[in-house]
Chain A
């Protein structure tokens, strides 16, 4: 915490109002950090509860999570795939997220390239496309899910993996495009021109120059798409039919009792996610 606060004096205004400055120091040195850590603790609390209770013994006949502490056990980690519906729902979600990420990343990156490089005289309809993306992100998800269900019912498309994939890509494209575009804006186009001057054709230029340079942006977009897809409940609940992905399955069992393995999956996914995030922070810092 101290390291975060040491930069405060540098940002301090010109030496004036000593009393007010001292008050500001106390405010920023003590009250704000304590408050911020309290908010972070509040955000972490349910996660902590989930991880702790994934190690809880179950004393009743049915293996269901209960919030009386019955003692420590790693039983649920050993029997992580003992609940057939849960395991298959999880793997379905993973497959769905991978497929949706690949498609949304390709389609979204192409869109980002178009949006960042071309303006109205060359690209009519750019503003319209941007407004559609804006609307797609800002509209309530339940409306998107409900309208997709309405479409699939109307055209008689059976609900399953296909409808899930179509829908997940649909709500990921705009996010990917925006993420990739944000990383593309500082792109130095003279590098591409240099490659062309040296005789590379446009495909080689793209493959050898453009793609490696925009790769961090594409990866960020892909991560976004993956996270959106694997945790999606609202849209999936509408378009899944009997093909149930992980969040929808968990929602389904909240009425009848939750097997402890749900918390095991939650904790493991959380751990993997945190590892990836820290890795990306460390890698990002090394580059800068």
Chain B
């Protein structure tokens, strides 16, 4: 790069200095727009949220005054701890179901998908081509009391007339499990895909049984993927309120519904902010655990 013969020319020296300065600034200039955007519309809102949770708000007008009211957190928790527990329970159940359902299919595509891997991955992604809300609405119709499934079974007298799935926790978990299945299956696929097949062959050469090879080679190697899949499914499911509102009826309220109502119906910005902050804290426990164990960059590999 250096061309000492021409270095004496004063114009060139100045130009090279400018280029060097530009090169030094390049990474910052390139990341400046994104950095500013994320600062103003991701980090600042989180700070505002925390500050709002310490304010006292007028429910009628939505006007808030800073009062350093730390009690809001305890108050909201004592009011809505059961909704938090319901959310954790439903999201956890849906995530476990998704992990169990999607592991075999991810395994099959990764090991035996052959030339059609992309086709099968596209099949897993199909639900994403239909709007999230519409998908859930259709499940509402499929599961409805006199709908395609239950209505037919009832007419055949295989189910009692008062049997229902909608407005139960089962419907909510089923909806969550359906909507977030691709979030589980894809990270698992990436993790299994990445396993070096010769390691598996080595296990068999060393007289590992199929079971042992699975438990002691495949499973340990997919643990980062399992953790990523858990996180990428559990956290969005935790804050979800569409499934609960469309499939769960008025019972089984999840925390997302409470937050939505606080912000959009009751205009209780302080309460809603406190609840959001608590929800974020719960999610952060998982996020930090992941970042500590596996590094924050690794999750990108599973997206």
Contact = CB atoms under 8 A, between A and B. Distances in A.
Interface of A: 3-8, 11, 13-14, 16-17, 20, 23-24, 28, 32-33, 35-36, 39-40, 42-47, 49-50, 53, 65, 67, 106-108, 110-111, 113-115, 117-118, 122-123, 126, 129-144, 146-151, 153-154, 166-167, 169-170, 173-175, 177-179, 181-182, 227, 231, 233-234, 237-238, 246-247, 250-251, 254, 258, 262-263, 266, 269-270, 273-274, 277-278, 281, 284-285
A176 to B, nearest CB: 9
A179 to B, nearest CB: 8
B249 to A, nearest CB: 12
Contact of A270 (B35, B130, B200, B235): B130
Contact of A151 (B35, B44, B239, B256): B44
Interface of B: 24, 26-28, 30-31, 33-35, 37-38, 41-46, 48-49, 52, 62, 101-102, 104-105, 107-109, 111-116, 118-120, 122-135, 137-142, 144, 147-148, 178, 181-182, 197, 200-201, 204-205, 207, 209-210, 231-232, 235-236, 238-242, 246, 256, 259-260, 263-264, 269, 272-273, 276-277, 279-280, 283-284, 287, 290-291, 296-297, 299-300, 303
A6 B122 CA distance: 21
B115 A3 contact: yes
Contacts, number: 295
B206 to A, nearest CB: 10
Contacts of B236: 140-141
B27 A142 contact: no
Contacts of B144: 67
Closest 9 CB pairs of A and B: A140-B239, A13-B204, A114-B30, A147-B45, A123-B27, A142-B239, A111-B34, A118-B27, A170-B41
26 contacts: A4-B112, A8-B112, A14-B204, A39-B102, A40-B123, A44-B126, A46-B130, A49-B141, A49-B142, A49-B148, A67-B142, A110-B33, A123-B27, A131-B296, A132-B42, A138-B290, A138-B299, A150-B49, A151-B44, A151-B48, A167-B41, A170-B41, A258-B137, A266-B131, A277-B125, A284-B118
Contacts of B46: 143, 147
Contacts of A122: 24, 27
Contact of A7 (B28, B112, B123, B296): B112
B286 to A, nearest CB: 8
Given A115-B31, A153-B269, A251-B242, 6 more contacts: A4-B112, A142-B256, A143-B276, A170-B37, A254-B246, A269-B130
Given A110-B33, A142-B239, A142-B256, A47 B43 contact: no
Nearest to B147: A67
Given A11-B197, A182-B300, A151 B45 contact: yes
Given A14-B204, A266-B134, A277-B122, A233 B242 contact: yes
B101 A142 contact: no
Contact of B38 (A4, A36, A132): A132
A53 B264 CA distance: 33
Nearest to B257: A142
B27 A126 contact: yes
A151 B33 CA distance: 20
Given A138-B287, A151-B48, A281 B259 contact: no
Nearest to B108: A32
Contacts of A8: 111-112
A58 to B, nearest CB: 14
Given A233-B132, A247-B132, A146 B272 contact: yes
B241 A142 contact: yes
A17 B203 CA distance: 13
A251 B245 CA distance: 10
Contacts of B115: 3-4, 7
Contacts of B112: 4-5, 7-8, 11, 28, 32-33
B10 to A, nearest CB: 20
A281 B123 CA distance: 12
Contacts of B133: 233, 247, 250-251, 254
Contacts of A277: 122, 125, 129
> Which of the listed residues B45, B116, B207 has the most CB atoms from chain A within 10 Å of its own CB?
B45
> Which of the listed residues B27, B122, B137, B277 has the most CB atoms from chain A within 10 Å of its own CB?
B27
B134 A250 contact: yes
B294 to A, nearest CB: 11
> Which of the listed residues A11, A139, A258 has the most CB atoms from chain B within 10 Å of its own CB?
A139
A277 B104 CA distance: 24
B39 to A, nearest CB: 8
B269 to A, nearest CB: 6
A77 to B, nearest CB: 16
A170 B264 CA distance: 21
Contact of B42 (A144, A266, A284): A144
A134 B291 contact: yes
Contact of A140 (B125, B148, B283): B283
A28 B114 CA distance: 13
Given A33-B108, A115-B31, A142-B259, A263 B134 contact: yes
